[in-house]
Amino acid sequence: MKILVTNDDGIFSPGIKALARAMSELGEVYVVAPDVEQSAVGHGITVRRPLRFKHTAAAGLDPIPAYRVDGTPADCVVLGVHLLGKPDLVVSGINLGVNLGLDLTHSGTVAGAIEGTSIGVPSIAFSLDIGSRAEMDFEPGAAEAVRIARWVTEHGLPDKVFLNVNFPVNPPKGVRITELSTHHYEDSVVERVDPNGVPYYWIAGKPTGSEDPGTDLWAVRQGYTSITPISLDLAAHDFMPVLRQAFEGS
């Protein structure tokens, strides 16, 4: 079994190292990841400039083959599949920080799983709540990731569905299957002036969202691993009858 591992924190992140090493237990792993951090780039792909695909021994992943790409996580999956063949599983992460609720559309980590799903490969995104910790322990999450990935490879996933997994700060008490919360970053714009006297703007965000029971944010804060199945069918089916009546005529 071939497993493609990507992320959005870049190929030198400790999170991808832990995930790639753990996945070796399940099959033949190869890492294709951005050369620099690509957090919050979402599902963007690079179409207006060429991309490079370079073997990277310095990633410290030996004997796992590791390649860096000067692009986004979605670019990494596209090039990885083109150059190394279609894998049986795509995993993305382990991200340094949660990807919950409304964060999902910004997340490069999640985009790696979305790209895998788009090409018909079962895919999972993994993120770790790092809280205010200086020391990050990816090992409990990596062990749980193996358990989840094994189940997925044995049972498959529905068409156009991937798993979004978030690990709590401390070793998980168990697993909860969750709904998406309202977790997001409240955007604030900081305006400053550059050395030439020209203003520039920096979008900063403060995490916020309610911990409603049964949601991903609630589960992670309660110390559980959160698994949310996500469908790429974004159409609001429930609302269609209203629009049909309004616009399609009687």
Q: Smallest gap, in angstroms, from Cβ of residue 53 to Mn ion?
A: 21
Q: Smallest gap, in angstroms, from Cβ of residue 38 to Mn ion?
A: 7
Looking at the Cβ atoms of 39 and 123, the one nearer to Mn ion is 39
Q: Smallest gap, in angstroms, from Cβ of residue 29 to Mn ion?
A: 20
CA distance 104 to 83: 28
For residue 42, count CB atoms less than 10 angstroms from its CB and return exposed for 0-12, middle for 13-18, buried for 19 or more: middle
Q: Smallest gap, in angstroms, from Cβ of residue 97 to Mn ion?
A: 6
Among 39, 92, 123, 215, binds Mn ion (CB under 5 A): 39
Using rule CB under 5 A, residue 9 touches Mn ion = yes
Per rule CB under 5 A, count of chain residues that contact Mn ion = 4
Using rule CB under 5 A, residue 56 touches Mn ion = no
Using rule CB under 5 A, residue 8 touches Mn ion = yes
Which residue lies nearest Mn ion, judged by its C-beta?
A: 39
> Which of the residues 203 through 242 are near Mn ion (CB under 5 A)?
none
Q: Which stretch binds Mn ion (CB under 5 A): 32-40, 42-50, 154-162, 215-223?
A: 32-40
Looking at the Cβ atoms of 61 and 110, the one nearer to Mn ion is 110
Q: Which stretch binds Mn ion (CB under 5 A): 66-74, 94-102, 117-125, 210-218?
A: 94-102
Q: Smallest gap, in angstroms, from Cβ of residue 92 to Mn ion?
A: 10
Summarize as ranges the residues that interact with Mn ion (CB under 5 A): 8-9, 39, 95
